[in-house]
Amino acid sequence: MAARYLDIELNEIRVDTNAGPSLLVDNNPLGKIPTLLTDDGLSIFDSIAIMHYFHRMKGKRLYPSKDIKRTTAEIVEALCDGTCDCLLAIVYERRHREEEKIHQPGSIGSGQR
């Protein structure tokens, strides 16, 4: 979304992370997406690092310049990143665990944590 917003052309490559594709693993020691491969051979991984790279690349147009607004944007960015991590954990658990072993937390307000 950030690349589109900044009019950065990307060649998107879809990979099956379960298969451990060499293109991904060779360029990201975490073996996770997203990973950005630049024209000059740099490998940038993690959404936040990629966003900061785009910000510098396009004349600092992605993040606010005022400190308090920048901090607010970074907090929202961290919240979104954390939410994606949680959702990914849920997907992996449902995809790779036997049905009876999938964690089923209590409902909201039930007093269970």
Q: What is the pLDDT of residues 56-68, one digit of tens each?
A: 999 999 999 999 9
Contact between 81 and 34 under an 8 Å Cβ cutoff? The reply is no
Phi, psi (degrees; rounded to nearest 5) at 34:
-85, 155
Architecture of the 1-62 domain: 3-Layer(aba) Sandwich (3.40)
pLDDT digits (tens, 9 = 90+) for 17-54: 778 788 888 998 888 889 999 999 999 999 999 999 99
pTM of the model: 0.74
Q: How far is it, in rounded angstroms, from Cα 56 to Cα 2?
A: 12
- Neighbour-count burial of 12, counting CB atoms closer than 10 A to its CB (0-12 exposed, 13-18 middle, 19+ buried): exposed
pLDDT digits (tens, 9 = 90+) for 80-109: 989 988 888 888 777 777 777 766 666 555
pLDDT (0 to 100) of residue 113: 46
